[in-house]
Amino acid sequence: MNDQPSAVHDLIIIGAGPAGLALARALGADPLSVAIVDPTPREVLADAPFDGREIALSADSVARLRDYGIWPHLADDDISRLRDARVRDGGTRSALHLQADGAGELGWLVPNHRLRQASYASLADAERLSWYSARVTALQTAPGHAEVRLDDGRRLRARLVVAADSRFSETRRAMGIAARMRDFGKSMLVCRLEHERPHCQTAEEWFVYGATLALLPLNGSRSSLVLTQPHRQIAALAQAEAEDFAARIGDWTGHHLGRLSLASSRHVYPLVAVWAEQFCKERYALIGDAAVGMHPVTAHGYNLGLRSVAALANAVRAAQRRGADIGALPLLRGYEAEHRRAARPLYELTNALVGLYTDERLPARLARRAALQLTEHLPPLKRLIVAPLRRHGDRRPDAVAG
- For 239-299, give the DSSP string: HS-HHHHHHHHHHHTTTTT-SEEE-S--EEEEEEEEEES-SEETTEEE-GGGTEE--GGGS
What number of other Cβ atoms are within 10 A of residue 138's Cβ?
A: 13
In terms of Cα–Cα distance, which of 124, 108, 128, 6 is closest to 65?
Answer: 108
Cβ atoms of residues 304 and 292 within 8 Å: yes
Please state whether beta strands 129-132 and 34-37 pair in parallel, antiparallel, or not at all (unpaired): parallel
The CA distance from 170 to 173, in Å, is 5
With a CB cutoff of 8 Å and minimum separation 6, the contacts of 232 are: none
Query: What backbone torsions phi and psi does residue 358 show, to the nearest 5 degrees?
Result: -115, 5
377 exposed, middle or buried (CB, 10 Å; 0-12, 13-18, 19+)? exposed
Q: Residue 361: its pLDDT value, please?
A: 56
What is the residue-level pLDDT of the chain in tens, covering all 402 positions? Answer: 456 688 999 999 999 999 999 999 999 877 899 999 999 999 999 999 999 999 999 999 999 999 999 999 999 999 999 988 887 766 555 556 656 655 467 889 999 999 999 999 999 988 899 999 999 999 999 889 999 999 999 999 999 999 999 999 999 999 999 999 998 888 999 999 999 999 999 998 887 766 789 999 999 999 999 999 999 999 999 999 999 999 999 998 889 899 999 999 999 999 899 999 999 999 999 999 999 998 876 677 899 999 999 999 999 999 999 999 999 999 999 999 999 999 998 888 777 766 655 555 555 555 555 555 444 444 443 444 445 545 443 333 343 333
From the CA atom positions of the chain, what is the Rg in Å?
22
Q: Residue 185: its pLDDT value, please?
A: 86
Q: Residue 105: its pLDDT value, please?
A: 79
CA-to-CA separations, 346 to 293, 383, 388, in angstroms, rounded = 11, 16, 10
Q: Residue 206: its pLDDT value, please?
A: 82
Burial code of 91-104, b = ≥16 C-beta within 10 A, e = fewer? eeebbbebebeeeb
The superfamily CATH assigns to domain 7-181+272-401 is FAD/NAD(P)-binding domain (3.50.50.60)
DSSP bridge partners of 186? 230
Q: Residue 89: its pLDDT value, please?
A: 67
With a CB cutoff of 8 Å and minimum separation 6, the contacts of 38 are: 14, 15, 16, 20, 45, 132, 133
How far does Cα 117 stand from its chain's mean position?
15
Q: Residue 396: its pLDDT value, please?
A: 34
